[in-house]
């Protein structure tokens, strides 16, 4: 199954590159019809399996049974020689407690990640994911928020911040206004927790303002949301 998935992924990549005219940007892609060899390990995430694979990886992380390190050397050689074909695009927070590959026990070449304090979408993030989807074969998107997110808490607090940091409130506040109002009688912690989740859902919808991502979703791309708990290491996927 993995072999078929990877071969199919490579075919899709080459087709997308031809359409998008991005071959020069991915000069490491295989040429002459050479198929990407299948990894000898349980690496890679097939279409439709992203949530299950990420959940399984997170369970390994929580249990201390991580294994992605076992196939890193092989994946470095493989992706260096044949190019990348990551499976899941992830919009996550820059928070140092949320190292995305580690918490999902994934390795080199698996995830296409943008990290931004407060995990909010930007034109640069959108362009990055459009590239991942159109040229690299990303078949699943995940917006990953986390508990105790300083950027979301700053947006909730609404205090003046120096430098460029007012962008946190500007970009996140529209995502959380309704959740803040709905939870204002339940205490500060409830407001923060609801705001973190509301921000994830808002950014999931915002990604779909991109015609390329919207079209990919119409053709079967999954857009997932999840919250990482910085106290337990567990990821909770949103329904
Ligand atoms: Zn954060």
Task: List the domains of the chain with CATH numbers.
Answer: 2-237 (3.40.1050.10)
Q: Determine the distance separating the centroid of ligand 1 and the alpha carbon of 69, expressed in angstroms.
A: 26
Looking at residue 11, what is its pLDDT?
A: 47
pLDDT at 43: 62
From ligand 1's centre to the CA of 15, what distance in Å? 36
Ligand 1 centroid from CA 203, angstroms: 14
Distance 37 CA to ligand 1 centre (A): 38
Taking each continuous run of H as one helix and of E as one strand, the counts in the chain are 9, 5
Distance CA 141, CA 113 (A): 10
pLDDT < 50 regions, the chain: 1-41
The β-bridge relationship of strands 222-228 and 235-237 is antiparallel
Residue for token pair 């296409």: 112
Q: Single out the residue of 20, 80, 12 nearest to residue 46, CA to CA.
A: 12
> What pLDDT score was predicted for residue 70?
83
- The alpha carbon dihedral of 129, 122, 200, 146 has a sign of positive
The CA distance from 80 to 36, in Å, is: 11
Rounded Cα gap, residues 110 and 95, in angstroms: 20
Instruction: Report CA torsion sign: 101, 105, 107, 109.
Output: negative
Q: How far is the CA of 90 from the centre of ligand 1 (A)?
A: 14
For residue 4, give Cα distances in angstroms to 44, 163, 191, 215. Answer: 11, 50, 46, 24
Tell how far the Cα of 24 is from the centroid of ligand 1, in angstroms.
35
pLDDT digits (tens, 9 = 90+) for 132-178: 999 999 999 999 999 999 999 999 999 999 999 999 999 999 999 99
């997170």: which residue's tokens?
Answer: 58
Whose structure tokens read 């997308």? 16
C-alpha 144 – ligand 1 centre gap (Å): 10
Q: What pLDDT score does 69 carry?
A: 82
8 A C-beta contact, residue 7 and residue 47? no
Give the contacts of 88 (CB within 8 A, at least 6 positions apart): 45, 50, 54, 110, 111, 112, 138, 139, 140, 141, 142
> Which pLDDT score, from 0 to 100, does residue 24 have?
36
């Amino acid at each position: 199954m993995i072999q078929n998935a990877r071969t199919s992924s490579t075919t899709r990549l080459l087709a997308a590159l031809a359409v998008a005219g991005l071959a020069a940007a991915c000069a490491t892609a295989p040429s002459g019809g050479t198929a990407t060899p299948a990894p000898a390990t349980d690496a890679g995430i097939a279409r439709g399996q992203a949530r299950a694979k990420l959940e399984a990886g997170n369970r390994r992380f929580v249990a201390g049974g991580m294994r992605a390190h076992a196939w890193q050397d092989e994946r470095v050689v493989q992706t260096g020689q044949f190019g990348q074909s990551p499976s899941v695009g992830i919009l996550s927070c820059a928070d140092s407690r949320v190292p995305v590959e580690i918490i999902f026990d994934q390795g080199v070449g698996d995830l296409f990640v943008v990290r931004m304090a407060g995990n909010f979408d930007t034109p640069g993030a959108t362009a990055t994911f459009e590239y991942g989807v159109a040229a690299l074969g990303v078949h699943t998107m995940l917006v990953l928020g986390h508990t105790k997110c300083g950027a979301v808490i700053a947006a909730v607090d609404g205090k003046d911040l120096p430098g460029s940091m007012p962008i946190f409130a500007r970009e996140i506040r529209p995502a959380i206004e309704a959740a803040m109002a709905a939870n204002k009688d339940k205490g500060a912690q409830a407001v923060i927790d609801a705001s973190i989740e509301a921000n994830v859902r808002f950014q999931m919808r915002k990604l779909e303002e991109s015609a390329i991502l919207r079209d990919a979703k119409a053709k079967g791309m999954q857009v997932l949301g999840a919250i990482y708990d910085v106290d337990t290491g567990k990821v909770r996927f949103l329904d």
